[in-house]
Amino acid sequence: MQRLLLVIALLFTVGIVWYMYSSEYVGYMYNLNTASYEYLSSSKKHLTFVSVSVDEDMKKSFGKFAHRGVKVIVGPPLSSDGEKIIPYLKKYKMISLSATISSDDLLNSGYIYSLSPSNSIYISSLMEVLKNVGSRNILLVLDPTNVKYSDEFKTILNNYTGQSVYYYNQESLSGFDLGSYDTALLTVSFKYAIDIINQLRKANPEMRIIGTDSLLNSDLITFGGKNSEGMLILYPLEYTEYPEVFLIDECVEILENHRFISSEQFRRFLDNSVVELSKEKVFFNSGSVKRNVYLYQVSDGQFKMIAKW
């Protein structure tokens, strides 16, 4: 009997140690072009991150994750980054929880979850906005560094007259009669958006400019100045000064409040739970998180919410 109790105690101890080790380390993938890198130095959370850049060798990065027993990765931020890691998530049986990936294709993979709604949800809201503002001829300006994300917005042109273009620099728009478009839809980051807005306003001061979630940043107003006034932007949160950081913090909050010893356990949790965050409750269905989408307008140098779905 004593030997049996000793074996049980030993197994219990090993189980506890295995549980603590397996769930202690969380992967973190950042992109130097987004606030995801800055989050590492500003976070006040208590998770033990194993952090790597999306520009590092993926084979080595995932070997590093596997060595530390990582089951869940926070990030990466961009859909183009997510596309690169899918094969490794499958190979190492890991799950990615991203703050901002929204590609329908990736979110339907079963290996990437996000706290941002899918592109199909954004596009549904955008179609309503375009209808309400009376858009007829649209210029769709796409981000060549995040093709996986941007390309899914091309479906809008199935319903509207218009053209799409990848924006690399100011020359990218030189072959277009910018004054002929009544609406421009931008999926680029706010850094590129400022130059684009200046070009569009010069060609047509009355053009309606609508941005997706990648544009919501205070620098858009700071550096865009009067040319940013009147812009419309969609985002899945009530405005905060650092929106991407807030969404990353929500990802970390989920992992701080729950322990997961396998990717399957984490997947079941997300697929079958209402997840309570600091400001709202969300759930996942058909590859996308279900939460509000907000429409903001730049007015008097501020992001002002004018609608939500």
Q: From residue 28, give the alpha-carbon distance in Å to each of 78, 113, 135, 181, 225.
A: 13, 14, 41, 41, 35
238: left (phi over 0), alpha (psi -120 to 50) or beta: beta
Torsion on CA atoms 119, 143, 42, 216, rounded to nearest 10? -70
Least confident residue range of 22-36, 90-104, 253-267: 22-36
Task: Write down the pLDDT at residue 22.
Answer: 46
Q: How far apart are CA 26 and CA 140, in angstroms?
A: 37
Q: Map out the domains of the chain as residue ranges.
A: 2-115+241-278, 119-238+293-308
Q: Which residues are paired to 235 by β-bridges?
A: 294
The residues near 112 (Cβ < 8 Å, ≥ 6 apart) are 82, 86, 89, 95, 96, 98, 101, 106
| CA 127 to chain centroid | 20
- What digits encode the pLDDT tens for the residues 61-81? 999 999 999 999 999 999 999
Residue with tokens 């990848």: 166
Tell me the two tokens of residue 154: 């091309």
**pLDDT, position 244:** 92
Rounded Cα–Cα distance for residues 106 and 183 (Å): 29
The per-residue pLDDT for 43 is 64
Question: Which contiguous run of DSSP H or E holds residue 106?
Answer: helix 104-107
> What integer best gives the mean pLDDT of the chain?
90
Q: Which CATH architecture fits 2-115+241-278?
A: 3-Layer(aba) Sandwich (3.40)
Quick one: tokens of 24?
A: 């202690």
* CA atoms of 100 and 117, how far apart (whole Å): 8
Q: Please, are residues 143 and 187 in contact by the beta-carbon 8 Å criterion?
A: yes
Do 2-115+241-278 and 119-238+293-308 agree at the fold level? Answer: yes
Is the pTM value of this prediction over 0.75? yes
Kindly write down the DSSP assignment for every residue of 34-94, as one continuous string: STHHHHHHH-----EEEEEETTS-HHHHHHHHHHTT--EEE--SSHHHHHHHHHHHHHHT-
Sign of the alpha-carbon dihedral angle for 100, 103, 108, 109: negative
Residues 51-63 have a mean pLDDT of 97
Query: What fold does the segment set 119-238+293-308 form as a domain?
Result: Rossmann fold (3.40.50)
Q: Taking Cα atoms as reference points, which of 108, 101, 27, 10 lies closest to residue 66?
A: 27
| pLDDT at residue 283 is higher than 90 | yes
**DSSP string of 111-157, one letter each residue:** SEEESS--HHHHHHHHHHHHHHHT--EEEEEE-GGGHHHHGGGGGGG
DSSP 159: T
185-196 pLDDT, tens per residue? Answer: 999 988 899 999
